Amino acid sequence: MKSKVFGGLVLAGILTATGSACSQKPAALAEVPELSGMWSGVLNGAIEDMFCDWGWCTDVGRERLADLLDDATNDERPTIQLFGEAALYQIEHYVVPRLTPAGRATLGVDPADDPGFLLCEPWGFARQIFAPHQLQITQLKDRVELHYGTWDARRTVWLDKHAAPRSAAVEPSGLGFSVGHYDGETLVVETSGIAANFAPWGWDWSSRFIDGKHSAELNATERYTRSEDRDRLLLTVTLNDPWSMSEPLVLKRVWSAAPNEQIYPDKDCERPHDFIKGSAAQ
Amino acid sequence: MKATLTVAATAMLLFTGAIHAHHSTTPVYDSKRIVTKTGVVTQFKLVNPHATLKLDVAEEDGKVVPWIVEFDGRVNLTRFGWDDDTLKPGDRITVTGNPTHSDSPRMFFIELERSDGTQLGRAMIDPTVDALEEARRKRAAQK
């Protein structure tokens, strides 16, 4: 069963201003899709969108969730429990079968080894692009700025890669080097130069921390577009890392328009001194 | 308060760590245990990645022990109406959370009750749970 949201991603016709609070597009960019504005978590609307807001989702996971919701024997179970079950299902039935032995061997990393926890080190690309909370998009003539509420992280997508600082294209970094272009109503972003880091497979779902790791060979294609009702920002990402994946993974994420939200500084991270290893296994 | 706590605790068991936190909290906090303390707020910092509260707790032997309560971040809490004045120095509160594995005077917030009886639940849990159930009802109605 194809999802309602992702089944209609391609918008027809020329976009016009809709009065949406996400209308921040400069007049000079009238020919490009209007993606600028503040986007954030989905707290209303289709339940499948809410599922894809918490971390990432797959078509496999959405279909599993639909089956669980349609099953009358689950009527008394909390929805949050069904989310957890569907999330675990997509990890076990979609992600894991597509990992190489090397990739599988990294599953179940100890959360105490997470540099984000131990060292207050911001996430790398593979986790940041699925980060919860806000994503602020600013479309400029030669680039697109992506600003995330989680970690107050910022990425630049170069529409004109010659405008990028030379070092940005050469030095591997946490968030990598991104170039982009518009394909109809979609912003397409190609990212490489991503330093080896944690992969977002588990993201605290389902009582287990199942994150793994990816190598510096990771590259990604992100496709951002708006839903037909203009109220959602839809992301489809193809991740490819020959070291950890036997075939590319296609993961999705949904945000909701959130013109009244803002992103706050993230500068008060406290390195923990009182913690244990192996907590996920307890 | 008990009903709210049950929902929050259930969600905690489901997710182990903070759902939308920037990392798992399980290395520090024991999600299988709960601790409740009453005391006076001495500081509340609504910051990212985690808000913190300092609480002077008078123990049974009369000794005042400074506790630290850790919350989800400002990015989470403000979405559900929290601001810098939600908790102020001098407020007397009873707070419930998950203790540390080492039982140091620190907890991860689940919920609290002010002296006037008003309650605050863990921001990322209750509104989200409610929204999910509402979305599920709408989905069922459309079928």
DSSP readout, A73-115? Answer: GGTTS-HHHHHHHHHHHHIIIIIGGGB-HHHHHT-S--GGG-H
Q: Per-residue pLDDT averaged across A243-256, rounded? A: 97
Can you tell me which residue has the tokens 């289709």? A46
Q: Is the pLDDT of residue A14 over 60?
A: no
Q: Is the pLDDT of residue A18 over 50?
A: no
pLDDT of residue A30: 52
Question: 10 Å Cβ neighbour count for A14?
Answer: 9
Task: Please list every residue in chain B whose beta carbon sits closer than 8 Å to the beta carbon of residue A148.
Answer: none
Which among A50, A151, A272 has the least Cβ separation from residue B135? Answer: A50
Domains annotated on chain B, with CATH: 26-142 (2.40.50.140)
B46-76: pLDDT as tens digits: 999 899 999 999 998 999 999 999 998 888 8
Higher pLDDT pick, B11 / A277: A277
Higher pLDDT pick, A116 / A49: A49
C-beta atoms of B19 and A204 within 8 A: yes
Name the least confident of A190-194, A205-209, B7-11, B115-119: B7-11
Read off the pLDDT band of A219 (50, 70, 90): very high
Chain A from 140 to 159: CB within 8 A of any B CB:
149-152
Q: Is the pLDDT of residue A274 over 90?
A: no
pLDDT of residue A194: 97
pLDDT of residue B25: 77
Read off the pLDDT band of A193 (50, 70, 90): very high
- Strands A219-226 and A186-192: what pairing? antiparallel
Name the least confident of A65-74, A85-94, B83-92: A85-94
Structure tokens at A66: 């639909």
Q: Per-residue pLDDT averaged across A94-102, rounded? A: 95
> CA A168 to CA A175: how far, in whole Å?
10
Q: Quick one: which of A282, A113, A138, A121 has its CA closest to A211?
A: A113
| Listed ranges A56-70, A263-277, B17-31; the one with the highest mean pLDDT | A56-70
From the CA of A161, how many Å to the nearest CA of chain B? Answer: 31
Which among B11, B75, B131 has the least Cβ separation from residue A149? Answer: B75
Q: Check: pTM over 0.80? Answer yes or no.
A: yes
Q: Is the pLDDT of residue A16 over 70?
A: no
Q: Is the pLDDT of residue A282 over 60?
A: no
pLDDT of residue A279: 67
pLDDT of residue A223: 98
Q: Per-residue pLDDT averaged across B5-34, rounded? A: 57
CA count, 13 A, side-chain hemisphere, B127? 16
Radius of gyration, alpha carbons of chain B? 16
C-beta atoms of A79 and B132 within 8 A: yes
pLDDT of residue A160: 87
Q: Does A27 touch chain B (CB under 8 A)?
A: no
Which among B17, B101, B102 has the least Cβ separation from residue A204? Answer: B17
C-beta atoms of B128 and A43 within 8 A: yes
Give chain A's mean pLDDT. Answer: 84
Q: Is the pLDDT of residue A115 over 50?
A: yes
pLDDT of residue A59: 97
Higher pLDDT pick, A200 / A238: A238
C-beta atoms of B19 and A81 within 8 A: no
CA count, 13 A, side-chain hemisphere, A34? 22
A229-242: pLDDT as tens digits: 999 999 999 999 99
